[in-house]
Structure 1
């Protein structure tokens, strides 16, 4: 299966290391979430893919070939700092951008009409971009990334400033393009959206990829967390369970970390909870992507400081 590959990208600005051996890949038809704190290197990596910046070393490849100018014409790019011409009409601008990517006038016009309709801005085709709301400008910017029938989508913070309806529209479009075989990589600070939409996630810190995988793979930490809700229990009952580390205990609800993921590792905890009082709830604690992000970044910082 063809992949979009970011292979050992390095980029420095003087003494500042923006990227250090950054490596990951995005398969055809896959949605990849690229997450990290501000200044982590996400935008730098995307700009290198588009040829806006040159890497000091490493390269970006599609189907095994380095991305050259011709291949980049097939990439749909949505920059974080929006790149639309504010005094140009929406429809005219999208046709112009499509033609820059190689479409003829008829193809470009048909594609403009299709995407402005799909993204809910068909009624604004004759308006200058600067007259649109931020949300509608976002929709037009996505149309600009899609209008030339892009084979690859690279989107930097595409959901920023969108209302819930627009988020749903954009989410649906990204899922449709992925279903058509387009690799989609997007960055976002809205981790709930990343968790909902993405097949795989990469977490970058200080220019380095510190974790990458499916949400299930990222959740496979060395220790598992379990939650028990027990009525009428004596204080501290969970501390008697061998190998258990109590993370929180309010007298009724207890969250415990257990070493390992082997089948049955939770049974001693379950037995203790049953004996302690009337067991109301018992089950694993599934971390959110936000929890995983905080855990991976803080763990990496601790290792760097050691």
Structure 2
């Protein structure tokens, strides 16, 4: 197995961890491909960079490797997923960020993760992706693993957003914006706006309003076959359309945004013995005891991955 190594070079915790992983791979004779920015960072720190191990780009890392490690947080893994596309090489998120729902392998579990990958003790979890369009306007990204968002920008004030599903009118929302989320993204921005938590391989889409002016307006869960069209009808009010965190600003109304399931998916590696429920308990502190001395009832739940 060839390992691809990518990550967030601005995180200080990356460099000692990356060095440790490379030493493990070298000791075991396991080949790897290093992203060029990480190779540059190692050279600047007087750390060895082996000949033939540096890929020309992150996209090439995805093409040349059998599995790609992304060192950082969830944002880093999202950037890695977009960078290696259209390769379907599976990704492993190594968490050196904060919460880490996507980057769910903790930094102290990397050697164990390599052991499990080499032993075949894992499965591939294909994640649904959203395809997005904005009439003829060019967006920073045209697909989303987590979500795409219409959000107000500039002066305070609500947006008026008309939404249809399969050409059938759904609602005209008065709100700060709307989140269109995948099940994978249900634990991201949508969750903070009151959206439901979904199993990541569920075949549905979520529409979650942001601070809607009407209390009866609630999140909607739609089948993955749905085609959603949203149009901002607030003349003179600026807004942004963000796709997995990359924003494009708009000032003109009457642009139709189309959101539907994309033809491709993103493959994430899930190690044996892990489960999404374990991740939810750990990351969201479900059932956590107030006392630091309380026994850990989940200590035997398996590796700290999901």
If the length of structure 1 is used for normalisation, what is the TM-score? 0.31
Higher relative contact order (CA 8 A, sep 6+): 1
Determine which structure has more spread, i.e. the larger CA radius of gyration: 1
Q: Which has the higher strand share?
A: 2
Return the TM-score normalized by structure 2: 0.31
